[in-house]
Structure 1
Amino acid sequence: MNRTAPQAAKPRVLAPGVLHAMRRFTSPTIANALEALGVVPSQAVYTNASVRCLFPELGPMVGYACTAVILSARPASNPRRIWRTQYWDHTRNSPEPRVTVMQDLSERPQGAYWGEVNANIYRALGSLGVMTNGTARDVDEVRQVGFHVFCSDVQVSHGFAHLEDFNCPVKLFDVVVHPGALIHADQHGAVVIPSEIASQVVEAAREIEQREKRMIELCKSADFSIEALDKLIPDSY
């Protein structure tokens, strides 16, 4: 079946300098910045505790989501609904920096879509890494590629893993990710940054970083007191 990608809303692409500045911060700091800007945890913009970062040494991954849906529990239909070259072309033509966000529809992953070969393919297509509720393998080989992997676990076989759809909303680790969504992810998990406040996040993160620096300096100081600490710490802590 020759399928054309559906038209999704174009993401608000930020200036490269803003994204570079975002990479200076950890994902927890970005999460704190979102809360300071009025985003509450119940709005589900943070992944849950089941996401696994395979390569924390790579630091934060920041980019726009190229979404896709896979299935690993059973073979692809014949003829296939989606051809991989269609998604490859879509990925290559998506806004940069780009990250792959892939939902496995299987109740329990039965095979790893992500390994040495796909890491090299998607790296060549300009993707910085992947976030998936599916599994991965070839851990040492993928590490050498420098490709970020956020997944549910590792698994020895690729099983039946195949593409089912792309450029559509996906849900993984309790978060809904729309095509083009801005993702910030590190060893703690991932944050989906709402586009309407994305340009304000860096400044909010800087303010939080400075405030926390003052708290920590006080804790290490000979002038430490509960009263002084209470004045520095906001009610959210």
Structure 2
Amino acid sequence: MTDDIATRLARLDACAISDALDQLGLPPSVTGLGSRAARRRISGSIITVKLAAGKPPEGTTPRHLCTTAIDRAEPGQVIVVEQRTGVECAGWGGILSNAARGRGVSGVIVEGLARDVDEAADIGFPVYARGATARTARGRIYETATGEPISVGDLTVATGDWVVADGSGAAFVPAARIEEVLAAAERIASREAGMTKAVLAGHPVSTVMGGDYEHLLETTE
């Protein structure tokens, strides 16, 4: 079942998923998480990482941020990192990109900044983030949790949820709603593909995109 969901999700873009979320009364896509390296769409189930400002508490075993998520990741998953500490530094870097690529991770999404984005581009590993910086996380931030709920935009995102990210944004789908969101997105994508075909065949775009397009999200049929 999970493999089937992943395959269906990979056929859809963030716009179709966002439209489906809108249709079902769920929060739509998160804006501003742009592709910083290896510009291509990513999708899959999520593993979360939460970061905090400062240094790890005394007596804890040091472990570099995001490494637990990489070690746990299955091929095709997406790592999503919350770096909303207010500290200007990267929540993801080049060695992590190499390690994640080696594990078959689809890509990473950082709610915050990433670094070594040229290196990620060189190895073809997709990195989505709010922006890029050369500032290290060392001594500035640390990991507080892997696999716990995090905040991305106005959303709460959990491990096991699903995501599609591309040049238009990142659309997150709660695990419990993935089947109905996929079904709605597939219907929407099919109808829009038909409209595009009609336009390319020479039909006036004003006719093709008339009432049908404006009311596209009002029905689940």
TM-score relative to the length of structure 2: 0.80
1:106 counterpart = 2:85: yes
Aligned residues: 215
Deviation sequence 1:105-130 (CA, Å, 0-9, x none): 412x3221322111112333443221
Distance of 1:89 and 1:69 partners within structure 2: 11
Question: Which residue of structure 2 lines up, in the alignment, with residue 187 of structure 1?
Answer: 167
Cross-structure match for 1:147: 125
* Structure 1 residue 34 corresponds to structure 2 residue 12: no
Q: Deviations over 1:70-122 (max 9, x none)?
A: 13x4333333376349x645543455532111112412x32213221111123
Residue 130 (1) aligns with residue 112 (2): no
1:103–1:172 CA contact under 8 A, matched in 2:
yes
Gaps of 5+ in 1: 1-13
Query: What is the Cα deviation at residue 207 of structure 1?
Result: 2.2
Cross-structure match for 1:51: 33
What SS is found at the alignment partner of 2:210? helix
User: CA-to-partner distance for each residue in 1:42-95, whole Å, 9 max, x for gaps?
Assistant: x43521x3322213632x211222111113x4333333376349x645543455
2:45 paired residue number? 64
8 Å contact from structure 1 (residues 56, 186) kept in 2: no
Provide TM-score, normalisation by structure 1: 0.76
Taking every aligned residue pair, what percent have the same amino acid on both sides?
Answer: 20
User: Residue 102 of structure 1: SS of its match in structure 2?
Assistant: strand
- What is the rounded CA distance, in whole Å, between the counterparts of 1:226 and 1:155 in structure 2? 44
Indicate the RMSD between aligned Cα atoms, in angstroms.
2.9
SS of equivalent residue, structure 1 residue 19: helix
Question: Which residue of the partner structure matches residue 11 of structure 1?
Answer: none
CA deviations 1:21-46 (Å, max 9, x no partner) are 3212211011123334x2x2xx4352
Find the counterpart in structure 2 of residue 173 from structure 1: 153
